[in-house]
Amino acid sequence: MNRNTIALIYTGILTLCFFVFGTIDILDYFIIKIILFLALIALLLYCIYILVDKNENHPE
């Protein structure tokens, strides 16, 4: 599976979680906020990893 595909799937899951948790009113719970924030941080770190790895493998 392509790295970009993995990042897009992860982003879709994260967006769906925000929507579902907001709809059923559990987005206000502190633990849910922490879990979603950590998932967002993980996504950002993965995207940075993809960019750095791509630049190392294919220097211009």
Tens of pLDDT, residue by residue over 4-60, are 888 889 899 999 998 999 899 898 899 988 998 999 999 889 888 888 887 776 665
The angle subtended at Cα 37 by Cα 31 and Cα 32, nearest 5°, is 25
The pTM of the full predicted model, rounded to 2 decimals, is 0.73
List, in order, residues 6 or more apart from 4 with CB less than 8 Å away.
50
Domain limits of the chain? 3-57
- More confident site: 37 or 1: 37
List, in order, residues 6 or more apart from 3 with CB less than 8 Å away.
50
Residues in the chain: 60
